[in-house]
Amino acid sequence: MKKLLTLSIIAILILASCETGTTVYRKIKTISDSYIWTAKDTIFFKKDIKDSTSNMQLSVSLRYIMGYPNTTLPIKLVIIDPKGNVLELTPELNIVDENNKYIGDIMGDLADIEQVVVDSVIFSSPGVYNFKLIQNANKPVVSHVHAIGLCIKKIK
């Protein structure tokens, strides 16, 4: 059985724009040139975090194709600390606003969004953290998804 992450964590799941802060890590990975994210496709990120006292904010970036068939994209974010402890979060990324209009920076048929998934966290153990992003839509394939990324910002 997986242990809960021994982070000093205050996790508030929100879906809003990334707050101003100092970017510690930002990486975006292409999921597929066919714009399909299968349930088997886990996207991995790794970051050596040395600062064990500052509040950090975690955001997920998404590049999607116009015509995405749902209003949200449920994901699973798995965080594994240097000691092997695991924390799993299940946020949903908003794709449309309250008026059913696509959100994000739209360029032709592509749109980019970045949404906060953990408002504040302190990584209490310095070392290498592993992050996994998995589509959590309860179906084998999610279409219209091109790339996904992780952003870690130091906040005040």
| Alpha carbon distance 39, 37 (integer Å) | 7
**Three-state DSSP state, 11:** coil
All structural domains of the chain:
8-155 (2.60.120)
What percent of the chain is helix, strand and coil (3-state, nearest 5)?
A: 0, 60, 40
Q: Is 47 exposed, middle or buried (0-12, 13-18, 19+ CB in 10 A)?
A: middle
- What pLDDT, on the 0 to 100 scale, is given for residue 20? 61
* pLDDT tens-digit readout, 120-133: 999 989 999 999 99
What is the pairing mode between strands 105-107 and 141-143?
unpaired
Task: Please give the Cα distance from 27 to 4 (Å, whole number).
Answer: 25
Q: How far is it, in rounded angstroms, from Cα 122 to Cα 37?
A: 30
**Per-10-residue mean pLDDT for the chain, 156 residues long?**
27 36 94 92 96 95 94 97 96 95 93 96 95 95 96 93
- Nearest by Cα to 64 from 3, 142, 136, 154: 142
| pTM of the predicted protein model | 0.84
